[in-house]
Amino acid sequence: MSKWKHTNRFIAPPCHSGPIEIIKNLFCGSEDEALVMAKEPIKVDTLIPLNDLDAKIWDLGFRGEILYYPVKDYGILPNDVLDDLVSKIIDRIRNGKKVGLFCMGGHGRTGYVASIVLGKLGYKDPIQFLRANYCKEAVESNAQIQHIADVLGEPELVEKYETFQSRYGRLDDYYGRYDFGRSYLPLSSTSAEENTCGECVYFNAGTCRLYEGFLFDENELACDDFVER
């Protein structure tokens, strides 16, 4: 079985260790890493939760500013709300304030907002910059990619980064249906024929082309996306 398999979940290997200062005074990370942002030696002046913020933050001595901008998982913000948030981030980092931007895993929502901040600061391909300097999983959904491209006036980003999975309506529908993130996949299968992963066209030597980044045993029961070879 996969070495990442644990109880009833597949656990993906860690993709980044943060928080990470992607540009001067702008830190990105996960919900857990927000607690690190709040302490020395980083000790940001402003925290921006796009998901939730642990109340433990007060026990760490944080007394800075909190700007809460909730975003649905894999989702985007209305244009006017996004403009307001991006302006606040840029204003603070230009004035020497440390800003901590984060969501649950530090990937989709964090990457989405950070990409637009970077684009507004003149980075031509902010998605590439984030994936090279922060986390390869930054920006997760086609909706986020499309909005980044629209806001920055860079339509080429859509063709360059649109995911195979989302293009064919697989991952986005799957995550929405089961309401969980990319950190694990259920082991159980609803495949009536009880086919195995190894019999699927998407299976390739322990990995799945649809669920890139996860490891599967060829004898594991196939999921609803099963396509026979």
Please report the DSSP string for 17-85 in residue order: -S-EEEETTEEEEETTHHHHHTSTTT--SEEEESS---GGGGTTT--SEE------TT----HHHHHHH
DSSP 198-213: GGBTTEETTEESSSTT
Q: Given 3.90.870.10, 3.90.190.10, 3.20.20.70, 3.20.20.10, which CATH number is that of 20-166?
A: 3.90.190.10
Q: Pick the closest to residue 26 from 107, 117, 108 (CA basis).
A: 117
Q: For the chain, what are the domain ranges?
A: 20-166, 185-229
Q: Give the Å distances, CA to CA, from 126 to 62, 73, 190, 221, 225.
A: 30, 20, 39, 39, 32
Main-chain dihedrals φ then ψ at residue 29, nearest 5 degrees:
180, -170
What is residue 62's predicted lDDT score, i.e. its pLDDT? 97
- Sign for the pseudo-dihedral over CA of 73, 76, 80, 86: positive
Residue in 102, 132, 97, 98 with CA at minimum distance from that of residue 114: 102
The single residue listed with the structure tokens 């998901």 is 51
Give me the pLDDT at residue 229, please.
Answer: 78
pLDDT at res. 179:
40
pTM over 0.85: no
Distance, in Å, from the CA atom of 98 to the CA atom of 27, rounded to the nearest integer, reads 8
Chain centroid, CA 12 distance in Å: 13
What are the 10-residue block averages of pLDDT along the chain, 229 residues in total? 36 71 97 96 98 95 97 96 98 98 96 98 96 94 96 95 54 40 39 73 75 69 80
